[in-house]
Amino acid sequence: MKVGFVGLGIMGKPMSRNLLKAGHELVVYDVVKTAVDEIVAAGAARGESAADVAARSEITITMLPDGPEVEAAVTGPGGVLGGAIAGSIVVDMSSISPLVAQKVAAACAAKGVEFVDAPVSGGEPKAIDGSLAIMVGGKQEVFDKVLPLLQCMGSSATLTGPAGAGNVTKLANQIMVAVNIAGMSEALVLATKAGIDPEVVFNAVKGGLAGSTVLNAKAPMVIGRNFKPGFRIRLHQKDLRNALSAAEAMKVSLPFTSLAQQVLIALMNKGCGDLDHSAIATFIEDMAGVEVKRP
């Protein structure tokens, strides 16, 4: 397929590489020239703008930080809709508010362009190895057309409902991950304060009901004091902000999500916004006066 890719950040760069490895013809654009240079060196063609990328593509993928960036890249001056032809498809893989996804979908429809929102879960490691979980909102027939591309970047792609449903599902995912990390952090801090080796506790519980993918991925990072970002605190805070905004619009109370977001904001104010979200543990550690580590 002739594919456009707009947004070559921590996630977009490896995702675009996987499309190239699968043999797709790729045109790329990012406001950061060095990111474009890197993917062009790997075999992609250079786009001069988001509009230029869309004009040269059957399907244009966007992978951007948040809703305002998606709106600017798709509907703004020099944006995707300035170059996309009727019948082409926009796949937004950013994690944004469902309300913004629906707004962008309506703008695409007015131009005769199809749209699906397809946010991902798995962070940079799974973006690199092509095993992301992809949650999609849109029409069945459009999902069927883009599925081969999604399978180049993820191990699963699930149609969850109409446009916007992908981002609702992603926000649900992010709530579960944040609250899971917070609970894990409290448990490991308690164990360490009691004088028990946290790695022993981790190994003892991971095969039981408390076991989870989050626990397996994040407990070793906390115990090893490795907070190199796979998914940054500031991005997780953004996702929880979007979840709470959507919840407010629907009159849904999310008390634990609110608490997790406050923890993330506190960590950002300490200069920890670019650490991995496993660094939630450091907030709990500070309150307990103990660092989770082996004796």
One-letter amino acid of 80: V
Kindly report the three-state secondary structure assignment for every residue of 157-180. EEEEECCCHHHHHHHHHHHHHHHH
Of 170, 218, 228, 293, which is the active-site residue?
170
Joined together, the tokens standing for residue 137 give 């909102």
DSSP labels, 125-147: HHHHHT-EEEEEES-HHHHHHHH
DSSP labels, 258-279: HHHHHHHHHHHHTT-TTSBGGG
* Residue-wise burial string across 218-257, b where 16 or more C-beta atoms lie within 10 A, e elsewhere: bbebbbeeebebbbbbbbbbbbbbbbbbbbeeeeeebeeb
CA gap 156, 137 in Å, rounded: 14
DSSP summary character for residue 29:
E
Joined together, the tokens standing for residue 21 give 């490895």
CA distances from 281 to 53, 123, 186, 256 (A): 42, 18, 7, 16
In whole angstroms, what separates CA 131 from the centre of its chain? 13
CA gap 38, 77 in Å, rounded: 25
For this structure, is 139 an active site residue?
no
Decide if 56 contacts 45 (C-beta within 8 A). Answer: yes
Q: Annotated catalytic sites, by residue?
A: 170
